[in-house]
Structure formats: structure tokens, C-alpha cells
Amino acid sequence: MSLGNRALVIWVLLSAAAAAAIGAALPPYFASIFLAIGINALLAVSLNLVNGITGQFSLGHAGFMAIGAYTAAALSTGPLAGLFNDPLLIHAGVALCLLAASTLAGLAGWLVGLPSLRLRGDYLAIVTLGFGEIIRVALLNSQALGGARGFIGIPSAGGAPWVFGLLALSLAACTRLMQGSCGRALLSVREDEVAAEALGVDTTRSKVGAFVASAAGAGAAGALFAFTYSFLHPSSFSFMKSVEVVVMVVLGGMGSMSGAVLAAVLLTILPEALRPLKELTGVDLRMVLYSLALVLLMLFRPGGLLGRRELWQLPWFKRGAR
């Protein structure tokens, strides 16, 4: 194993161990928020690969998340149920479900992206929006997957180590991608697609590859969502869920992976932090203040919290590292 691969493994294992320790120390309510932060951050990082780094615009992330969630739910209550009943094999079951969920979501991303990413402009947004709604309506009318009643009986598995270990792996993979020729090809597509084509970059292949990887990441996040809450309903994967993830990407900074994570933390905690206001005023003002905070942030930081930079590229972070 090379030094780089060894460092990657250590980074993922340390992240999983730290997350497990934090999750175990938190009360149940805060532990659930902690897991929601990790899942939302994984969604934001995966979408940032398309919307931020490649410069495309997808509005169907919730659809890919739903495919991953229902795939994991169906496998964990069906063919792989025996693994989840054995404490020694439960993590093997989680790994197999994550692999299947990511693969199916990535395949769906390839089927959607291959024809639509050959086009320019807002066609991808329209296609992915329609795809997300098709998935939601199909799940709503699928009695085999619970339909409008929802999918119940999903085993509670995974937890903080899996959520944050996978998030750490995604961040490391995206960082390595941006340091290589594939990452530079994606950036060239974002800056000027015509010029990139003139320089010999296969823009369609680059965009489809990024889209497939993004969809696979959303599928993995969906599987972890299913194992975290043990219940699925099509309303959890509506158009507004896709918009929520897009807001995280824009707020963090288009193209900034650490910015996407920071925005996911902020936008997951903010509605919960505003919850006591309802008890004081008798009126639920959370969404009003939540929206106002987003408007103010966009007015004063139109490029997002970090812009196109990463957290470790900020001047104050470099000074602190010295």
C-alpha cells in the first residue's frame, strides 16, 4: 500500500472512530441531529461535484437518494435480512446494501445523464427535475415498497461510523480528483465548455462521469438515511429535498467541498436551533427566520461562505497552521 493510500485509510478510520465516540456521548436527540448533519453533508458534497465543480445544474438529487434508500430497505428486509439479524455480520450487510444502493443510483444517473448531458443550458435541470418527480410518484404508487403507507421495518444499522467514515472517504476522493487530470477537465468544462472541447477534452464523457459519481454518492446517502430512521416515505424525497441540497451547495460556495460541509452543518442545525421560538411566541417562525438568514447570507456573501476555496486555503487557517 502506497503512502497516499495508507494516509487515506487512516483518515477514514480516524473519522469513523471520532464520529462513533461523539455519537455515543450525545443524548438521543442531539445524536439524531449529528447523523442528519453527516447525511446532508454527504448529499451536498456529491451534488457539488456536478453543480459546483462541473458547472452543470441538477435538480434531481432527491430521486437518486430515494433509489439508494429503497434499494437498501428492500435488501435489508429481504435477501440480506439474515445478515442484519446477526450482530457479527450486520456491518457486512450494511456494506453490501451501500454497494448495491450506490451502483443502482449510479446506473440511474448514467441513464439520465447520457442523453441530457449532451445538451447545453438548462436542459439538465429540467430533465433531472422530471426524473426526481417520476421516482417519487412511482414509489408513492408502488405497493410492494409500501406506497403511500411508507416502508417500515428497516433495521437500524450503520450509525455515525458509517455516515462520517463515508463522508471522509468522499471528501478525500474529491480532493484527489481535483488534483488530477480528470479534475482539471471538469474545471475546464465549468469555465468554458466550447474552449475545453477545442483543447481536446471529451466534455460529454467528463460530465456523465461526474454525474454518475454524484448520483452514486446520493444513493449511498439514501441508504444511510434508511438505516438511520428505519422508515421511508416518498414525501421525504420530494422536489424540496433537492432544492435543500442545492441551497447547501450554493451557500457553501460552488466548487468548495469543505464549504458544502459547512453549509450542511449550518442548515441542519439552524431549524432545530430556532425550534424554541415556537414555544415562546406560539407561532412557528422557524422557516421565516431560516429564509431570512439565507437571504442575508446571499446578500453579504454572494459567492457563498467559502467561494471556490477550501477551508484550508483561507489565510487565517494558513496562519494558524504555522
Nearest-angstrom CA–CA distance, 269 and 69: 23
Q: Which residues does 203 contact at the CB level (< 8 Å), separation at least 6? A: 189, 193, 196, 197
Residue 192, pLDDT score: 85
Q: Is the model's pLDDT at 63 over the cut of 90?
A: yes
- Average pLDDT (58-62) is 91
What lies within 8 Å, CB to CB, of 75 at 6+ separation is: 96, 97, 100
Average pLDDT over residues 88-117: 92
Average pLDDT score, the chain = 87
**pLDDT (tens digit per residue) in 257-302:** 888 999 999 889 988 887 887 777 777 777 777 778 778 887 888 8
Does 16 have pLDDT greater than 90? no
* Per-residue CA distances from 305 to 38, 58, 75, 230, 262 (Å): 19, 21, 39, 34, 8
Segment 177-214, tens digit of pLDDT: 888 888 889 889 888 888 888 888 888 889 899 999 99
The H or E element containing residue 321 is helix 315-321
Residue 221 in contact with residue 65, Cβ under 8 Å? yes
Task: Record the cell numbers describing residue 79, joined without a space.
Answer: 435477501
143 burial class (0-12, 13-18, 19+ CB within 10 angstroms)? exposed
Name the pLDDT band for 322 (thresholds 50, 70, 90): low
Q: Check if the beta carbon of residue 220 is closer than 8 Å to that of residue 137.
A: no
Calculate the CA 267 to chain-centre distance: 14
Report the distance separating Cα 313 and Cα 47, nearest Å.
Answer: 21
Q: pTM of the prediction?
A: 0.91
Cα of 317 vs its chain's centroid, Å: 26
**What is the C-alpha separation between 127 and 255, in angstroms, rounded?**
22
Gap between the Cα atoms of 129 and 248, Å rounded: 17
How confident is the model at residue 279, as a pLDDT?
A: 75
Indicate the domain borders of the chain.
3-238
